[in-house]
A and B are shown apart, each in its own frame.
Chain A
Amino acid sequence: MLYYAAPIFLPLFGAVIAGLFGRVIGARAAQLVTCGAMGAAAVLSIVVFNEVVLQGEVGTVVLFDWFSSGDLDVDWLLRFDELTGVMVFVVCVVSFLIHVYSIGYMAHDPHVPRFFAYLSLFTFFMLALVSADNFLQMFFGWEGVGLVSYLLIGFWYRRPSANAAAIKAFVVNRVGDFGFALGILAIFLMFDTVSFDAVFAGAPGMVDAELTFLGHSFDFLEVACILLFVGAMGKSAQFLLHTWLPDAMEGPTPVSALIHAATMVTAGVFMVARLSPIFEYAPIALSVVTFFGATTAIFAATIAITQNDIKRVIAYSTCSQLGYMFFACGVSAYGAGIFHLTTHAFFKALLFLGAGAVIHAMSDEQDMRKMGGIWRMIPLTYVLMWVGNLALAGIFPFSGFFSKDIILESAFASHTGLGMYAFGLGILAAFLTAFYSWRLLFLTFHGKPRADERVMAHVHEAPAVMWVPLVGLAIGAIVIGYLMLPMVATDIDFWGTSILVLPIHNALEEAHHVDFWVKALPMAVGVLGIAGAFLFYVLKPELPGLLAARARPVYLFLLNKWYFDELYDILFVRSAKYLGRNLWKQGDGAVIDGIGPDGIAAATLSVARRAVKLQSGYVYHYAFAMLLGLAAIVTWYLIAGR
């Protein structure tokens, strides 16, 4: 079972070689070593998938102790169960394809070894996250992917905007981690352990346990789960903590594909699924998950329809799709959430890399208003983008159809108010998804060319090293949905013990028995969305402008992303700077130093200066002082001596 660990550590090996010795061995060797290690990891991940998920050979690989103190005992352990098996497979395969694609995409970059080192290092941290056997190890991977995401967003460090986006991503994620860390602390306080197995085993006994948090008594499991979910919201860019994801598009496109679509941002969903044995006993927390998931799904979709940057549209689409995954988990259909995570990894990576191919063809132009009319010139990219969008919009028989359908059906079948909220918004978001996907297709590929002639003359199909991985992802986007259907089947125990669903939370089971209209609706609105986009951007291209002018406030509200960036800037960034400056100048400078050392020094000096003046050197001054003293003493004796 030791070889299970190989796919986890191979990427680390590649990263270290390329990162530390990249200058010595050169770009080609760095690519070779990272892609080679990643390829081997991908092959092994399929072996692991077969062994763990299909054969049920679950187990753990013990590495070594991390730290211990009293009851706190943390080890480095790799956990291989069905959930990990699926994730390792998805991460390794998608990451490998993106590694290969990057050889072509980054060919002209002077920092190739560094780029590949980061990509591989990221993959390692992601694998460490999904194979963690305790909360802290998960946190290790969690922060690790955050770090590499920071490094990769800021990869082009000459750009101020890239640097700003990188810091924003890290700090917003830290806000989420604030919740995650508190959640871990609460878990340890009550369970006296951070190991998954022990916590999961103890969870049923903790129902009704109380935790005094910030002076109030709460239901312990609810509080812990909500705190942990705050971490998930940060990493998975959910409503309120989403602001970093669109900005993260400053990184090179393969990064957007790997980190900000296929893998890292799904860590939050994975976390909720992994912790299903405690979330299941926290119904309020599950409602919170459902609410934020559904809200994000529609919120991000509304923004996506107005954005003009091709990568930002896909970024908001990612945000929205993550919302789907969350509300699936919120209605206890964890299997459906992970199913959508899997299909999404393939088709979203395909879309991003396809967009990368377009950007590549258009001489690094990302604004769709300056594209158009290029579909005949890059037919292969065009077809691949169609495949990706069909999968995203959930059109049969593409993979997204299967996963999105089951999520919406589960939400409907949960028969709760929030479930219906999620279902309603999910359907609406499905319509918008199809709409903005085809808006993207039409704006990018159809209509009259809006780029200048120099750019148009350069439009060319991507080299083989780029399109071959795209084809691989496209095949995944087509077949993976059907192949992975057992994930949500009711007659097969696909997940084993890795996911717990209480019998009362049988939404996934019920989802197979909903009315036909519920099953048909997602695809119907998808087709409707495509038709809408066709009407708006092909038949009557003047319509969008008219609509935007008529409903200008709404348009601006959406275009400016609901003004979250501006709001947060005032609330947090400016106020922190204001406070910092004043505490420094006034607090430290005027008050503490003023009363403390400087004040005392000044007071001593001033007393001394006055004392000095007494010594005037005139005899009559001294004589007068003596007289005064004598008078005072005599007076004292006269009064006190009585």
Chain B
Amino acid sequence: MTDWPILSTVTFLPLVGVFFILLIRGEEKQVAANSRHLALWTSVVTFALSLVLVADFDTTTAEFQFVEFVPWLPEHNIAYHLGVDGISIFFLILTTFLIPICILASWEAIGTRVREFMIAFLVMETLIVGVFCSLDFVMFYIFFEGQLIPMFLIIGIWGGARRVYSAFKFFLYTLVGSVLFLLAILFMYLDAGTTDIPTLLVHEFAPAVQTWLWLALFASFAVKLPMWPFHTWLPDAHVEAPTAGSVILAGILLKMGGYGFLRFSLPMLPDASEFFVPFVYSLSVVAIIYTSLVALMQQDMKKLIAYSSVAHMGIVTIGIFTFTGQGIEGGIIQMLSHGIVSAALFLCVGVVYDRTHTREIADYGGLVHRMPIYAFVLMVFTLAAIGLPGTSGFVGEFMVLVGAFQSNTWVASLALTGVILGAAYMLWLYRRVIFGELTKENLKSITDLNWREVGIFAPLVSLALVLGLYPEPFLDVLHVSVENLIAQTRGAADLPVADVPERVPVPTLAALN
């Protein structure tokens, strides 16, 4: 399989789908139906192909695998360089897994400009997959910022009433981070003479420089994640975005921030990362408690889930910055779990929104009388969101807390209060939507999930349970890469190295040439 450029195939296959969708001619209805099917099949094939990556993945090495290297601007040491390791492969799979679900979820919900919508989604898939397998900063930046455009369009065109405000807010926030990120990349290039990520991973930046670089990267990742107090774009964006947009936003785009910390901030700027630990811990703890309290008072379902996302991402950043195996692996598992669970929760909101066109919690109540299957599905994800053992939410959260407790008991204790608040706001939401008497007139004829919707939720429910009951296979893939990451971080930052295995060599430009 090594000679077949499988990563490029996975990355650019959606664009092939886009090409064919552009070729469709005929009546508008016909075009819409054909675009849906083409988009779905493209994304399903992409997902199937990405599974080949998992099957062939070697869990015993931390080196980048399926590497593709083509010199692009050789005199500037800029290249077309792709590869995945144990950390990025999960995000890649999560992306290819969620895109078909998004397309299915938009099947009936999107009625206007269907062709354009599908194109936007497939382009976004290419860009997101590209982010997770780029091994060159220039490429990474293009993919990373490029996905802003389809997302901006998805919110701005297919969004709700205040879509323009939200789209601009989203764009502005992200753009400020991007500018600083670009500056950081330029500086790194000037300092190291290359934009090749594996080379930069072993390049040592001077400590004073690291601080500034770290802050520049932080500006970008903290907005993406989002961390408190850079989070206010998220509730607005979610509320206005169509269901599929929310799913991608919560499921994958937020994870880019976490991935950025893991891939760049920690290993490239270890001293600064170490220096900023108290800063990150403080913001994360504030995020957990603050946004949980805010979530408690929300009247809009999507806003509530959006705020809970910020709290969950707080757990992730704590985990990443513990620099312990449990913390980082827990953070990654938490991101995967959140990618599944929050995506599913937004889909659940979408289900009832499609039927009633309201997201106000007060407009619901007693849905269980008409929608027992829906009630069951929402219960599973509610429980996963509050981290009940046996669901995916628990494993990640617990591992992060194990890591956090080792480094700071205050942080672990305060983060745990989010567990109590989380139960309160999620169960209260569930009660107000699902339980009680069914009194609202427009709900009396509401229908339960149809087969298409059952098909959307079935894989998500299974994954949430599998990840909770038997996450070992997932962790197996992570172990070596995370150990390597810790070695890179700790080794350079002169931290006490506890039980860290030998540093695994990282392929450099020279080695590849």
Contacts and interface: CB of A to CB of B under 8 A. Distances in A.
Interface of A: 23, 64-72, 136, 139-140, 142-144, 147, 150, 154, 157-158, 160, 163, 166-167, 170-171, 174-175, 177-178, 181-182, 185-186, 188-189, 212-215, 576-577, 579-581, 583-584, 587-588, 592-593, 596-597, 600-601
B420 A171 contact: yes
Interface stretch (B40-48, B59-67, B388-396): B388-396
Contacts of A142: 389
Given A70-B326, A212-B409, A154 B435 contact: yes
Nearest to B499: A70
A174 B419 contact: yes
B419 A178 contact: yes
A601 B326 CA distance: 42
A581 B297 contact: yes
Given A69-B475, A584-B294, A597-B233, A175 B420 contact: yes
Given A69-B330, A70-B499, A577-B297, A593 B427 contact: no
Given A66-B472, A171-B427, A597-B233, A157 B329 contact: no
Ranked nearest first, the 8 interchain pairs of A and B with the lowest CB-CB distance are A580-B297, A580-B293, A70-B325, A185-B405, A157-B435, A140-B389, A580-B296, A584-B294
Given A67-B472, A157-B435, A189-B405, A170 B413 contact: no
B401 interface: yes
B402 A188 contact: yes
Nearest to B423: A174
B390 to A, nearest CB: 6
A583 B435 contact: no
A181 B366 CA distance: 34
Interface of B: 169, 172-173, 229, 232-233, 290, 293-298, 324-326, 329-330, 366, 368, 372, 383, 388-390, 395, 398-399, 401-402, 405-406, 409-410, 412-413, 416-417, 419-421, 423-424, 427-428, 431, 434-437, 469-472, 475, 479, 499
A571 to B, nearest CB: 14
Q: Majority SS of interface residues in chain A?
A: helix
B47 to A, nearest CB: 25
Contacts of B330: 69
Contacts of B229: 592, 596
B436 A182 contact: no
A66 B469 contact: yes
Contact of B293 (A166, A186, A579): A579
A588 B436 contact: no
A185 B436 contact: no
B502 to A, nearest CB: 16
A182 to B, nearest CB: 6
A144 B401 contact: no
B419 A147 contact: no
Contacts of A587: 290, 294
Given A66-B471, A182-B413, A580-B294, 12 more contacts: A66-B472, A69-B479, A144-B390, A154-B431, A163-B436, A166-B427, A167-B424, A170-B427, A177-B419, A178-B417, A587-B294, A597-B173
A144 B419 contact: no
Contact of A163 (B293, B402, B412, B431): B431
Nearest to A188: B402
A636 to B, nearest CB: 34
22 contacts: A64-B470, A67-B472, A69-B399, A142-B389, A143-B390, A147-B383, A147-B388, A158-B436, A163-B436, A166-B427, A171-B423, A181-B401, A182-B416, A185-B412, A188-B402, A189-B405, A576-B424, A577-B297, A580-B294, A580-B295, A584-B298, A597-B232
Contacts of B436: 157-158, 160, 163
Given A140-B390, A588-B294, A185 B402 contact: yes
Contacts of A576: 293, 296, 421, 424
